[in-house]
Structure 1
Amino acid sequence: MEKGEILISTEEARRVEFVISYNGADISASLKDFLLDASYTDASGQLDDLQITLEDSRGLWQNDWMPAEGDTIEAAIKTMNWNASNEMATLDLGTFEVDGIDFSGPPDIIRIKAISLPIGTTVRREKRSKAWEKVKLTTIAADIAAKAGLTLLFEGKHNQVYDRIEQTEQSDLAFLQDIAVKEGLALKISGGSLILFDESEYEAAPTSLDIRRGKDISSYSFSWSTSDAAYTSCKVVYHDAKKGINIQATFTPPNAPEAGPVLIVNESVDSQAEALRLAEKKLREENKNYGKGSLSMPGNTNLATGLTVNVVGWGRFDGKYIIENAKHSLGSGGYKTDIEIRKVLGW
């Protein structure tokens, strides 16, 4: 098939295109006669997700053109003159494999669902038990990534070494996700990579843009809850029976209230330094969801999970936030981006 593009906007000066290759062949031009909408979801702790909805009054997609499990899709969103004249931008959505089909009617509609994890891998569904000894976090992650046909990308300050850690009747991904949470890391699978990144480092990065009230925001919501910031500090206490010693450390963040409940954690640690690091990670996990928000706006190819934004014009809700979920949607209503954000802790 010849390379083509799907025009979502009818305005000549401002356009957005959905470009797609299916099993290596660019079908963008052919797909435009059937495309109703498409959406891409990029979320921390989850697989990237692509959904394509097609009109099928001729019955082609439910017969000869029916996608098969494991078919590969490469997709991108391209904008032209979107924010300025002669400006072009591309959001590469990555590579996906088809893992499901929904069919409904009338009228006949097919929805193709695809994810960023190879379908044939067992790391998501198969539960198993294994004991890991004298092993680094990156060794565990690299082993799981290789089994899934992925490349490991580790962006953390500390590569924890475990004397012994047990995986008990868990899938590899669930096991790795549990470790990531304990270590204060976020896990993503995107673009052929298994990514582990330190959320505190991402939170400290400069903001990618200002989001201002009254400027191209179609809807918004914000919330905060003291129950999501209940602890003023965290104390780790552990008795090492083999060495006959007690290890403890307390982490109190900057600007913490002088009085309030203390989170007590009793987990195995090898040193006071490790106890202090664990205390910080545990307190971060307990308190990080204090301020949340969601925003819908015209499509923006620069918005992605892990980036920070500055929210302006909503009073007490103003401040620096990190994007936890970014959904890019194209359809009859044009191109829009919805994001879910949480306020950064600042430490």
Structure 2
Amino acid sequence: MRRLLAAALALVATLAGLLAALVAVPVGYVELACRPQGAAVPYAAILPPEHHRPEGRTLLTYPEWHIVHAYADYAAVIRTDDPHDYGYVAGIAGFWGSLCDLSRASGPHGGFPGAFKSTVYTIGVSFTVELLAKAAYEETLGRIAVAIRGADRAPLDDLSATQAAAYAAFLRQVPWYRWDFATDAAALDAAATDTFRDTERRAALGAEYGIKAAYAQVIGAAVAVMPPDALRLRMIVRGLDATTLSGLPEVTVIRTRPEGVEIDTPRYAALTMLLQQMAAEGGDFVEIAGNDDILMTVTTDAEEAEGALSSMTRQGSRDRRHLILLPVTALAQRLRDMDGTNVTLEHIHDY
């Protein structure tokens, strides 16, 4: 028994070492092969320094959003298909591949600072481990459970797809650790039938939700003692008067400047909708958070897009995502030019 236990522990240690080496490979690749290219380009900001955010963040916020998009893609796949039909390795590769492209492009925008690296690498490694673990289960035991189930979906197949879609939508504006995983687990218990597939889904997803709930408590406690990131930012808009701008949701007019109207707005997904609305109403953007360049993602069935730094196929859809870096002053017209085309705005990345 002692020899058997020792062998089991040695196997676990070996697997853990292999996993650690595996997730370290993309970090090493980004560090060595994806270094920022080009020198910083100076820009004389209009807004005062206290309202500036580092321009490089418009590029380096995307990797975290890639995870949001990956959850949305996963939800789209399992809405009609099964979890093993999602490309877990492709989801991981999309994260590290886009990070490499953005790191290379970050040189003129402040590079890839060490403070950003620790955060981006941490979420990247966590995402990689999560998807590898999920793939290992769904491609083995999960696939067997589907074979036993047959062609007809079980109630928890549909419920888990609904939960995945709701979670992906939640992540567009709120950090993941605030999601109520316990409620999802309870919903599985309430809706489960006595079929084999429901029993398996209830156990597998219940365990996943339990682990995430425990991890969320740890992250939430750690974040609670850290200074919160700003939820709002300043920008300068022209083409719209102060009265029109003050009538937009959550927008506060600060002052009228020679260059345009200075306003205070929310960030994240709410900002994307506001920028799109202001552009549609004839507004143009002069400066955002003290910066003159900004990143956005669009989706289209075209293989390439003008100004794209990185492109990838979206799972669960028949189109591609393009990461486009452009001047702030060109953003509004680019948004207006999308009207009536097959190009759809997905997200505008602030700083």
Structure with the higher fraction of residues in strand conformation? 1
User: TM bucket by the smaller chain?
Assistant: under 0.3
Q: TM-score, normalised by structure 1?
A: 0.25
Q: TM-score, normalised by structure 2?
A: 0.25
**Structure with more relative contact order (C-alpha pairs < 8 Å, separation 6 or more):** 2
